[in-house]
Amino acid sequence: MSARKIIPAANWGQRAIACCILAVVTFLIYMVATSPHINWPTIPQYIFDDTILDGIRLTILFTILSMVISIVTGAILATMRLASNPIISGFSSVYIWFFRGTPLLVQIIFWFNIQLFIPSINIGLFHLDTNDVVTAFVAALLALSLNEAAYMAEIIRGGLLAVDNGQNEAAKALGYTPSQSMLRIIFPQALRVIIPPIGNQTISMLKTTSLVSVVAAQDLLTRAQNIYARNFLIIELLIVASIWYLVMTTVASCIQYVIEQRLGQSSTQPPAVWRAAIRLMRAEGGRG
Amino acid sequence: MSGQSNNSPIVVEAFDVHKSFGPLEVLKGINLSVGKGEVVCLLGPSGSGKSTFLRCINHLERMTSGRILVDGHVIGYHERGDALHEMSGRELAVQRRDIGMVFQRFNLFAHQSVLTNISQAPILNRGQPRKEAVARARELLKMVDMEGREAAFPYQLSGGQQQRIAIARALAMDPKLMLFDEPTSALDPELVGEVLNVMRKLAADGMTMIVVTHEMAFARDVADRVVFMDQGVVVEEGPAREVIDNPKHERTQAFLRRMH
């Protein structure tokens, strides 16, 4: 007997659904592409428009600044949450509860309107109008950072708790002070657990910054809105903005992928973050 | 093993140490004194409180009442009038620098190389110049038979190797006293010997050691004195061979029968 050919089972149900999907997607693309209401040639014109590029710069600035501030604040809140004093840990819990429990959009509008109940800041003879200090930029940055700090605190707390308590005990037994133990032993090890979710939060933050357009903070979406307020090319400029958001999140995802690959190598060699941390510690340790 | 002589200075003195975890009293008044260069093994069934007591000696565990002195200083507390005021984390750190400790689970710093594991504490906490600390670390590696493994990371080492590094790390601080908390209990049987050998060397060099262990042969050969604990009290103590070969108390006898 000759060898018989093996034919896999045909999954007719899936084939039918796949055909439906293709049909619907093709129809949608055709509808959008042939729409007389979308002025396609204007999109390339605006992609590298100076105003749009300025907006991108500001969106990236908002993302980086708010992530840096929220990581620092979050680390402080996480440490406070683990403190034995009930007021210190309670403050941290209430902060996290409040900032995670109210919408970010409300927080942004709130900071922008803060002069309504704190019109000026007076410290002795020193006097400042709140409006001069809390500009749209500052209001947006405060809202993004303070809100993100609540999430970051939980991420960092999780990382700190993931480090085996034996590490802290060994550090104590060797005469490390509590802050030395935190900075040199616990935190560098917690980084391994903390870095992947920080990557996710950063990617998410790139898009979240668009919310600050409600206070006209001059980010990418604000700029797109400003332009279409004048020329009414609403859909075209929203497409331009979407293209840029996709580019930014894709690049950020690639960076995250590279970092996580390096973190994952820990079974054969210490990951890059550790090596960097080790180098830092050696440099500092050298002071004697 | 000269530690048995009564005129050697006292390194550790514990007076009526009590410790409760909630309603459970695990230490019910422990008294102990250890002379310079003496090796004392704490024996007893699990749950007898020997590890808890050991951890009170460097204040990793907060006792409920009592007093422990190391080198004449009350550990963990300032004595003011009738009261004992607990020290701050920084003050405790200074006291612990003179007390080395080796853990059951090694607890090497997972993100640091062997060399950093050993040399960081003396650099940071003793202000030792980096060069000196590294040279000393190399010496200690030789002593624990781990020469040339400076660059290794803990996960690349066997349990026995990790424990030997942990001993070297504790010794790098030049402690006056070494505490061993079941140092071989987490090891595969074939790796126990290499760790015990290092501890033998240390004892022969005159280090003051308190060892919680289930290794009866080691206790019998190396210890000057054994202390048998059960249910939070010291049941019997005395010269190692005497207690292990001819236990007087029935609980000690029952325990030793199970160990053989």
| A164, A169, A177 member nearest B90 (Cβ) | A177
Output the pLDDT for position A265. Answer: 53
- The string of pLDDT tens digits covering residues A41-65 is 999 999 999 999 999 999 999 999 9
Residues of chain B in contact with residue A169, where contact means CB-CB under 8 angstroms, are 60, 103, 107
pLDDT band at A287 (very low <50, low <70, confident <90, very high): very low
Output the pLDDT for position B36. Answer: 95
State how far the alpha carbon of B119 is from the alpha carbons of B157, B168, B240, B258, in Å.
18, 10, 35, 42
Output the pLDDT for position B260. Answer: 67
A275 assigned to some structural domain: no
- The string of pLDDT tens digits covering residues A69-78 is 999 999 999 9
- The string of pLDDT tens digits covering residues A10-29 is 889 999 999 999 999 999 99
What is the residue range of A224's domain?
46-267
Output the pLDDT for position A28. Answer: 96
C-alpha–C-alpha distance, residues A153 and A194, integer Å: 10
Residue of chain B minimizing CA distance to A276: B111
Radius of gyration, alpha carbons of chain B: 18
Residue of chain A minimizing CA distance to B94: A175
Residues of chain B in contact with residue A185, where contact means CB-CB under 8 angstroms, are 109
Output the pLDDT for position A126. Answer: 82
Cross-chain Cβ contact A167/B93 below 8 Å: no
Output the pLDDT for position A116. Answer: 87
A285 assigned to some structural domain: no
Residue A79 CB contacts under 8 Å (≥ 6 apart), including other chains: A160, A182
User: CATH number of the domain that A147 lies in?
Assistant: 1.10.3720.10
User: Does A277 lie at the interface with B, CB-CB under 8 angstroms?
Assistant: yes
A284 assigned to some structural domain: no
C-alpha–C-alpha distance, residues B208 and A105, integer Å: 65
- The string of pLDDT tens digits covering residues B188-226 is 999 999 999 999 999 999 999 999 999 999 999 999 999
Which range of A229-233, A256-260, B167-171 scores highest in mean pLDDT? It is B167-171
Q: Beta B77-80 vs B73-74: how paired, if at all? A: unpaired
The shortest C-alpha distance from A85 to chain B (Å) reads 14
Output the pLDDT for position A279. Answer: 57
User: In 10 A of CB A177, how many CB atoms?
Assistant: 19
Q: Which A residues 177-236 touch B at CB under 8 Å?
A: 177-178, 180, 184-185, 188-189
> In chain B, what percentage of residues exceed pLDDT 90?
92
Q: What is the mean pLDDT of residues A82-103?
A: 95
| A166, A178, A286 member nearest B89 (Cβ) | A178
Residues of chain A in contact with residue B159, where contact means CB-CB under 8 angstroms, are none
Output the pLDDT for position B30. Answer: 96
pLDDT band at A276 (very low <50, low <70, confident <90, very high): low
A8 assigned to some structural domain: no
- Written as one letter, the residue type at B136 is R
- The string of pLDDT tens digits covering residues A143-190 is 999 999 999 999 999 999 999 999 999 999 999 999 999 999 999 899
Output the pLDDT for position A269. Answer: 47
DSSP 3-state of A166 = helix
A276 assigned to some structural domain: no
User: Does B111 lie at the interface with A, CB-CB under 8 angstroms?
Assistant: yes
User: In 10 A of CB A46, how many CB atoms?
Assistant: 21
A226 near A51, Cβ under 8 Å?
yes
Output the pLDDT for position A227. Answer: 94
User: In 10 A of CB B131, how many CB atoms?
Assistant: 11
Cross-chain Cβ contact B108/A170 below 8 Å: yes
Q: What is the mean pLDDT of residues B94-113?
A: 95
Q: What is the mean pLDDT of residues B136-145?
A: 96
| B99, B103, B128 member nearest A170 (Cβ) | B103
User: Does B56 lie at the interface with A, CB-CB under 8 angstroms?
Assistant: no
Residues of chain A in contact with residue B93, where contact means CB-CB under 8 angstroms, are 172, 175-178, 180
Q: What is the mean pLDDT of residues A229-255?
A: 94
Strand order in the sheet with B65-70: B24-35, B10-21, B65-70, B73-74
Q: What is the mean pLDDT of residues B38-52?
A: 94
A115 assigned to some structural domain: yes
Q: In total, how many domains does chain A have?
A: 1
Closest CA to A130 of A110, A145, A116, A109: A116
pLDDT band at A9 (very low <50, low <70, confident <90, very high): confident
Q: Beta B209-212 vs B24-35: how paired, if at all? A: unpaired
pTM to 2 decimals? Answer: 0.80
The shortest C-alpha distance from B133 to chain A (Å) reads 10
Cross-chain Cβ contact A172/B108 below 8 Å: no
Strand order in the sheet with B39-43: B99-102, B177-181, B209-212, B39-43, B225-230, B233-239
DSSP 3-state of A96 = helix
C-alpha–C-alpha distance, residues B137 and B112, integer Å: 14
The question of ipTM being above 0.90 is answered as yes
Residues of chain A in contact with residue B89, where contact means CB-CB under 8 angstroms, are 177-178
**Could you tell me which residue, B81 or B199, shows the higher pLDDT?**
B199
| B60, B99, B124 member nearest A169 (Cβ) | B60
Q: Is the pLDDT of residue A270 over 60?
A: no
A62 assigned to some structural domain: yes
Cross-chain Cβ contact B123/A176 below 8 Å: no
Residue of chain A minimizing CA distance to B118: A174
Residues of chain B in contact with residue A270, where contact means CB-CB under 8 angstroms, are 111, 153
| B89, B119, B155 member nearest A177 (Cβ) | B89
A254 assigned to some structural domain: yes
pLDDT band at A135 (very low <50, low <70, confident <90, very high): confident
For chain A, the average pLDDT equals: 89
